[in-house]
Amino acid sequence: MKQTVSLNHKQIACVSYDPDDGSLTIIYHRGERRRHPFADTAAFQTLLEDSNKVDILCQLLSRRFG
């Protein structure tokens, strides 16, 4: 089942994680969606629980794709 978390960000509306295929989808306010292979449920759980979700998202993406 997909999990979605809203972000308090002027460009990113929310982030959705699908544990079935391990994908992370970033959904922008302007309607664009970017899907990334991710496959880390524990890292997404950190994003869900942290108060600074945008910084955690940046850290996760830079670690995964940097």
| Domain definitions of the chain by residue range | 3-65
Residue range 3-30: average pLDDT? 93
Look at the block and give the residue holding tokens 């990113």.
Answer: 12
Residue range 8-34: average pLDDT? 94
CB within 8 Å of 50: residues ≥ 6 apart:
56
Output the pTM of the full model.
0.84
**pLDDT greater at residue 65 or residue 38:** 38
**Is the pLDDT reported for residue 39 higher than 90?**
no
